Amino acid sequence: MQSQPTVLLRQIEDLRGSRVVAYLTSDQPNSPFVAKMALDVIPFFYEHLRRLGHSDRLDLFLFSQGGDTIVP
């Protein structure tokens, strides 16, 4: 059984005819995503996109409380 976020991302892919890459961070102390955007994420994005392969359409689902402005 897929998690609710996974199901929602698949629905976005189906509706838009795309692949979705999600990047979520949080500054909430009890969150499993406690982080801010930083340059160390770039190699992870590269590897993820490399494994994803070619896609005619790619969407980025981004949720962040901020961080290093050079990252985008």
Token pair, residue 68, equals 């290093």
Q: Which pLDDT does position 23 carry in this prediction?
A: 84
Torsion angle of the four alpha carbons 43, 49, 6, 24, in this order, in degrees rounded to the nearest 10: 30
Give the pLDDT confidence score for residue 38 in this predicted structure.
79
Residue 14: the pLDDT is 96
Q: Any idea where the domains of the chain sit in the sequence?
A: 4-63
pLDDT of residue 69: 65
Query: Which letter, b or e, does each residue of 36-64 get, where b requires 16 or more Cβ atoms within 10 Å of its Cβ?
Result: ebeeebeeeeeeeeeeeeeeeeebeeeeb
Residues 5-22: pLDDT tens digits?
Answer: 889 999 999 999 999 998
Residue-wise pLDDT for 24-70, tens only, equals: 777 777 777 667 777 888 898 899 999 999 999 999 988 877 666 66
